[in-house]
Structure 1
Amino acid sequence: MSSIAGVGLTTMLASRTISSMRDQLAELQRQLGTGKKSETYGGLGLDSGLVLNMRAQLARTDTFKTTISSVGLRVNLMNTSLQRIGDLRDETRSDLFAPFDYELVSGGQSAAQRSASGRLSEMLTLLNGDAGGRYLFSGRATETPAVDTYANIIEGDGARAGLKQLISERLQADQGADGRGRLVVNPAAGSVVSIQDDPGHPFGFKIAGATSSFGATIAHTLPNLSIDLGAANPPEGGTVRVQFTLPDGSSTAIELTATTTSPPKPNQFLIGATPADTAANITAALDTQIQRFAQTDLAAASAIQAGNEYFATDAANPPLRVDGPPFDTATGLIAGTPANTVSGT
């Protein structure tokens, strides 16, 4: 009986061993098939904490990779945009040195002006570029466009004035009510020609001086300029030249040439029978040229200065506008506000 009991015990132990080995084999096959040591963290024993920590690190690494990829995309887009903006600048600069073509092609603008307008629109679009709903050039304010739209900046937005309105207001202030660039052309007094500007404001022509080729006596005491022909008429071909400073800091000059041919050309004055007659003729010719220059040289400088005062701004230095209406008699500038002026930056 004891022998039979011993055999039974041995058989039972062997069976358990085989069953355990079978379970181990099954577990190893599962691990090989799934690539996992255990289906649960509890099955990892003391290694479970290490695995959880590694999973957290992997998650952070994935987040870093996603962030790096996103930032890399934004940087690449910004770099591409800045390169294109540089190209637009170079193209516009090239146009400035190209032969001028004043033929108007559309909307009262020349081809060069239309091109510059298109490039400005493209540049503003690039500055308002976004990636994944985040504006690229807005700094921390990623949900806010970096600049306003081209239409708003140029045309305005309701009660908020744009560049065109500021240019119009500035032109009125620079040309003045009578279109003479805020100059006063006095009637000739004997042989003396005289004009004056108004130093009390930044608008219009500012007299810079005068010269003559025939020895006229010139006196320039701000704001007055006088040219005294004296007792003798100028010779034919003699010249009078009056220089002006324009609103943008540039300069221009009106030069008149003496002639005996009647009627004289626009840039000439008729030599009269007496110096007084000649002074009256110089005054009339100068007055005509001042009005013509107010429509050309002064108008161009006025638009440039209005653009400077509109675009060369920041949060601490808002756009400057003419203090009006009325604008044609204005004497100063005021700061635009977000309520009445579209920001150009």
Structure 2
Amino acid sequence: MVDPLVGSRSSGVVREIIQLRRGMQGLEQQLATGRKSQTYAGLGTQRSLSVAFRGDLARFESYHSSITLVELRLSITDQVLTRLDGVATEARGSMDPNIYQLLGDGRTQGQATAYNLLGETLSMLNSEAGGRHLFAGKDVTGKPVETINAIMDGEGNRAGFVQHRNERLLADSGDSGTGRLDISQPAANQVRLAEDGVHPFGLKIGSVNNGLSSTVVAGPSGTPSTFDIDFTAQPGAGQTLKINLILPDGTSKSVELVAAGAGQGGDGKFEIGASADETAANLAAALTDSLRKVSRIELGAASAMAAGTDFFDTANGGAPQRIDGPPFATATALRAGTESDTVFWYKGDNGTDPARNTATARIDDGLTISYGARANEEAFRVLVQNLAVFSSGTYTEGNQDDENRYSILAGKTLQSTSYPAGVQKLEQIAGELGAARSAANNASNRHTVKSGTLQTLIDGIESADLSEVSVSLLTQQTRLEASYRATSILFNMSLVNYI
């Protein structure tokens, strides 16, 4: 029989053993996990700090993940922009107005090069990274740009650029081939030049510089514009009439007609006749010939440039513009193409908001960057448009008018792809996106420092000192062993044994 006093003492020792075993289990767990506690409650008064620090750390890690994705996209975008700049340089090299050597298909080697560069440009504008098409604005899941074949040659019932270019040339040239200007003689001694209506096509009368004596010029005036020249007597040989014409692309061309003696007429000249009436008739005929020549050459090149703007300038929700015809030669207006009758070369988001704002990322507390882009932004569109315009025409060997028209068009596209003042440049887009990338990199560096600091603070609160835990564990083990011995002695003790 165990002494009651011994039983009482033994129960106290047992409780101490249980507490020691629990303490050892806790220490063993700390030694295994390296953490003071598996719950915040076990951290005592520092648990609120731990929770707050971990919340901050999670937020910075979220920012870091966002920055990593943005940097991937911006890196690829930067590579595309760098190559597009190279494409523009190569394109300018192909647009030499002085080299006119036709290949078998009626195009020059420069045009063939430009066509290949156009295909490469369109492919790059369809670039994708991290689940997002980089030049599609907000519509990130689909390719923003059509194929080169569809854009140039159309698809099914949908017209491409080449068809629109041909229709635009008809509208600019008119039925008589004088660029939609009418030449008439309301009186025998009078010549009238008039625009054939109020519309955006053909040649427009700018100004008239009259150097002919014995003549009276009235105008240009009115809408549509017109001017008259009346011969009151004969002008002198060598005297000139200069008419400044506005071409469809906004550039100008001067037509100069020189009075010449009998039998000395020809290109740019009109013969002084036997009477004022005959001289007026000669001027009308020479003016008709000059306008037809302008229509074949300068107007043809300017019409192609205007067609390029019609078809490709679709920013801010616009649609490709088409000639409101047939008939096209007498058309008086443009109309918006529809997706059923016209290839929309750009198919991405086409809102009126800034292109950069179509993709945003929050990279820090209160800091959001914008890094979106649209393929129909001016800098991209200028390159695509001029490559298409330059590469699309065909010419005839031995035709001087064709050679002159090619040279003028090459000069126009060369100037345009040089990005003159006032035109958005690829470098501007690169600079804007570069600023966003720099902000993301700076934020990433800040987050790295902050995350490291927070992790150190969290470790100070949550991590166990393994050396201290080992010492405590040995101490607890020693105490536990002593308790086991004491318990054993107590349970073996009795009054009989004592006596």
TM-score over 0.5 for the alignment? yes
Report sequence identity in percent: 36
- Counterpart-to-counterpart distance in 1, 2:234 and 2:62: 92
- Counterpart-to-counterpart distance in 2, 1:283 and 1:212: 15
Q: Does 1:137 align with 2:135?
A: yes
Q: How far is the alpha carbon of 1:316 from its aligned partner? A: 2.4
Secondary structure of 1:325 counterpart: coil
Residue from 194, 209, 212 that aligns with 2:210: 212
- Counterpart-to-counterpart distance in 1, 2:268 and 2:124: 48
- Counterpart-to-counterpart distance in 1, 2:327 and 2:197: 19
Q: How far is the alpha carbon of 1:286 from its aligned partner? A: 0.9
Contact 1:229 1:275 in 2 (8 A): yes
Secondary structure of 2:284 counterpart: helix
TM-score for both structures, normalised by structure 1: 0.76
Q: Which runs of 5+ in 2 are unaligned?
A: 1-30, 346-375, 377-499
Secondary structure of 1:109 counterpart: coil
- Counterpart-to-counterpart distance in 1, 2:338 and 2:217: 45
Contact 1:129 1:135 in 2 (8 A): yes
Match of 2:309 in 1: 308
Amino acid at match of 2:271: L
Q: Structure 1 99/166 Cα, relative in aligned 2: closer, same or farther at 3 Å?
A: closer
Q: Structure 1 261/120 Cα, relative in aligned 2: closer, same or farther at 3 Å?
A: farther
Match of 2:188 in 1: 190
**Which structure is higher in RCO with an 8 Å CA cutoff and minimum separation 6?**
2
Q: Structure 1 213/59 Cα, relative in aligned 2: closer, same or farther at 3 Å?
A: closer
Amino acid at match of 1:231: A
Match of 1:226 in 2: 228
Match of 2:76 in 1: 77
Match of 1:7 in 2: none
Match of 1:180 in 2: 178
Segment of structure 1 superposing worse, 57-66 or 192-201: 57-66
Q: How far is the alpha carbon of 1:261 from its aligned partner? A: 5.8
Secondary structure of 1:195 counterpart: strand
Contact 1:188 1:279 in 2 (8 A): no
Residue from 119, 122, 127 that aligns with 2:120: 122
Point out the structure with the larger helix share. Answer: 2
Match of 1:101 in 2: 98
Deviations for 1:21-69, whole angstroms, at most 9, x for unmatched residues? xxxxxxxxxxx9xx9xxxxx9xx9x99xx9xx9xx99999999877655
- Counterpart-to-counterpart distance in 2, 1:163 and 1:123: 16
Q: Which runs of 5+ in 1 are unaligned?
A: 1-31, 36-40
Contact 1:244 1:252 in 2 (8 A): yes
Q: Structure 1 139/232 Cα, relative in aligned 2: closer, same or farther at 3 Å?
A: closer
Q: Does 1:268 align with 2:265?
A: no
Residue from 163, 166, 170 that aligns with 2:164: 166
- Counterpart-to-counterpart distance in 2, 1:74 and 1:253: 50
- Counterpart-to-counterpart distance in 2, 1:65 and 1:211: 69
Contact 1:269 1:281 in 2 (8 A): yes
TM-score for both structures, normalised by structure 2: 0.54
Residue from 148, 151, 159 that aligns with 2:149: 151
Contact 2:212 2:235 in 1 (8 A): no
Match of 1:248 in 2: 249
Deviations for 1:114-146, whole angstroms, at most 9, x for unmatched residues? 443333322211111123664222244332012
Contact 1:182 1:203 in 2 (8 A): yes
Amino acid at match of 1:177: D
Amino acid at match of 2:208: A
- Counterpart-to-counterpart distance in 2, 1:144 and 1:202: 35
Q: How far is the alpha carbon of 1:199 from its aligned partner? A: 3.6
- Counterpart-to-counterpart distance in 1, 2:132 and 2:79: 16
Contact 2:190 2:231 in 1 (8 A): yes
Q: Structure 1 230/111 Cα, relative in aligned 2: closer, same or farther at 3 Å?
A: farther
Q: How far is the alpha carbon of 1:288 from its aligned partner? A: 0.9
Segment of structure 1 superposing worse, 144-153 or 312-321: 312-321
Contact 2:234 2:279 in 1 (8 A): no
Secondary structure of 2:102 counterpart: strand
